[in-house]
Structure 1
Amino acid sequence: MTPPSSAYDAPMRRAFELAGRGTSLGRNPQVGCVLLRSDSSVAAEGWHRGSGTPHAEVDALARLRPDETRGLTAVVSLEPCDHTGLTGPCSEALIEAGVSRVVYAVADPGEASSGGAERLRRAGVEVLGGVLAEEGEEAIRPWLVATRSRRPFVTLKWASSLDGRSAAADGSSQWITGTAARQHVHERRAAHDAILVGTGTVLADDPSLTARGDAGELLHEQPLPVVLGRRRVPEGAALRRHPRPLVETGSRDVAGVLSDLFDRGVRRLFVEGGPTVASEFVRLGLVDDYLLYLAPTLIGGPRAALGDLGVETIGEQIRLTTTRITPLGDDLVIVARAQHRSTP
C-alpha cells in the first residue's frame, strides 16, 4: 500500500535542507536526496556539490552497500535526471540500485535532463511527484527561472537615498550607504555567476566589480564581469585586472546578451549598472529580484535611481512584492519581486 504523500513531508524538507549545502552557482541545480527503508527510517542521505560531482541520488546510494539499496524509497527535491553529461543519469542509477519508489518535489524542466520520472515508471518503479512542490520551487527558484526562460535569473541592485536619488547633482555617489550595506553587496556579488554594468558606469566610476571581504581581500567566489554596450573598456580600467576574464558584449541588445550568458553557463546575474541599464532591464520585464539598499538620507536633484520605464499613468505602475526587509546599520536592504503591470 502506498503511503499518503504527506508521509514524505518531513524527509522532503530534509532533502531541501541537504540541497542547500551544495553550491548555488553554475549550470546545475541544488538537489538533496534521502533514502528511506520500509519502516521509514533513514538509510542514507546525499546532495549535489557542483558540476562534475555525483548527483544527490548517486551520492546517497554510494553510502550504502549494493545489497542495502534494494526496496528503498528515494525522496528527492528535484525529479531525477535522465541525462548523460559529466555524470550518468540518476534514473538509471536508481533503477540499477533496485529502489522501489521515488518521491520528488519539482519536475525537472531541463530540455536534456527531464524525463527521469517516466523512465523510472517504465522500469516498474513507483513514482510520486509534486510533494511540497511550492517549497521545492522556492528552494531552487533562480535555477528554475533560468532553465525555463533560457536566460539567467536577474537580480537588479541599486542604492539610493530616501527620496530615490542614486547620486548627487555632480554625479558623486560614494558613499550613500554605510559599511554594513556595502559589505552585504560584496557577499551578494559572490553569490552570482556574473555581474553586469553598462559602459557608462565603467567610464564614470572605473569599478572593479570584485567580491571582497571585510578586510578588502578577494572572496573565493568571484562573479564573471560583463559590460553591456558598444564602447570598449579602456586598457587601463580596473575591470581588466579582475580575477576572471572580462566579457565585453559590444552590444546594447539586453535579451541577446542574456541568451549568450546563459549559453556560457551563467544562471545567476547581478545587474549593478546605473539608471540607464537598470531602467532598461525593468522596462523589458527582465528583473526577477530587486535588491534595494535604502539609506536614511536626502539628496534631491535630478539623479534618480531609475529613468523612464514607459509608465505614462498611475495605472501602468510596476508593482512589486516585498519578500524581505533587513536592517544593515542605519540602512535597510529590501528584497522584492515583480508582480505585473496593473491595469487602469
Structure 2
Amino acid sequence: MNGTAFQPTQMHSITGYRSPGRKLVWLVVMLVILVLLMVASLAIGARPVSVSDIAGALAGHAQSIGEAVVTMRIPRTVLGVLAGAALGLSGALMQGMTRNPLADPGIFGVNMGASLAVVIGVAWFGIVSSAAYIWTAIFGAGVTAVFVFLVGSLGRGGATPLKLTLAGAATSIAFASLVMAIVLPRGDIAGGIRAWQIGGIGGATFARILPVLPFLLAGLTLAMISARKLNALALGDELAAGLGENVAVGRGLAAVSAVLLCGATTAICGPIGFVGLVVPHICRLLIGVDHRWLLPFSALGGAALLLASDIAGRLAARPGEVDVGIVTALIGGPFFIWIVRRQQVREL
C-alpha cells in the first residue's frame, strides 16, 4: 500500500514462516507423542495393566481383569483426545479472530456461559438428554461470546485485547457466582453439578460421546475453512479487505466454530480451562502462525495436553484421581501470568 506492492516476504514475516520440512517433522513428533499418551492413558490408573492386556482389549477380548479394565478406559481416552483437540482448536480460533494472545474459552467466559446455561436447564427446565445438554451449552456459549465482545467493544478503541480479557474475566466470575446461587438450594442436583463443574473425563462412555461427534465435526470443518481467512485477518482488517477477504464472514466462521467446539465439549466434560490458552502459543513456537498449520497442530497439541493432564491426575492421587480440570488450571495459571508479563497483549 502507499504505492508499494505487497510482497510475499511480508506475508511470511507475518505468518511466522517455517519450512515445510520442519513442520512435517514436528507433525510426526506430535503424532508419536499423542499415540504414546493414548497407550499410557490405557495402561495407567488405580490398576496398572500390561501391553499384552492393552493389545487384547483393542482386539476385542475381555477375558482377563486387565483387558476388562482397558475396555473401560478406552472411552475415557477417546473423550480426552476429542475434548482436548476441541479446546486447543477453539483457543487458536479465538486468538486468531481477536488478535489477542490472552484469548481462551475459559478466560473469555465462554465455557462458564455454557456451564451456566446447562445448570439453568437442569435446575429450572429438567433437561436430561444428551442432545438437550449439548444444544443448551452451545446456546450459552454463543450468547456469552457475543456479550463479552459487545462489552469489550465499548468505549474508545473498540475491542482491544485488554478490554476483551477484562470483560471475559468479569463475566466468568459473575456466571460462576450465578451457578452457585442456583445450585446451593437444590440438594437434589448439587452433588452432580459440582462434580461436573470441576471439569473431567472420568466415567466416559461411547453412549455419551456419540451425540457430541456431529457438533465437533461441524466445528472442525468450519475451522479448517476459516484458516486462510484468519491469515488475512492477521494483517489487519483494512489490508485483509483490500486483499479481497470479507472480514465479517471470516470472523463469523471462526466464532461459530469456536462456540460449537467449546460448547459441545463443556456439555460432556464440564468447563475445562487453559487448554485453549497454552496449546496455540506452544504450537506457534514450533511451526509459526500460519493457521493452515496452526489449527490442526493446536488440535493435536490440545489432545496431548489433556491426556497428559489426565494421566498426571491419576498418578498424583492413586488409587484415586485429581480431575483434569484442576490439573490444567495448575498448568495454565502460571502460563497466563508469563504471557501477561511478556507485555504483548496488543497484538499477536
Q: TM-score w.r.t. structure 2 length? A: 0.22
Structure with greater helix share of residues:
2
Point out which structure has higher relative CO (alpha carbons under 8 A, 6+ apart).
2
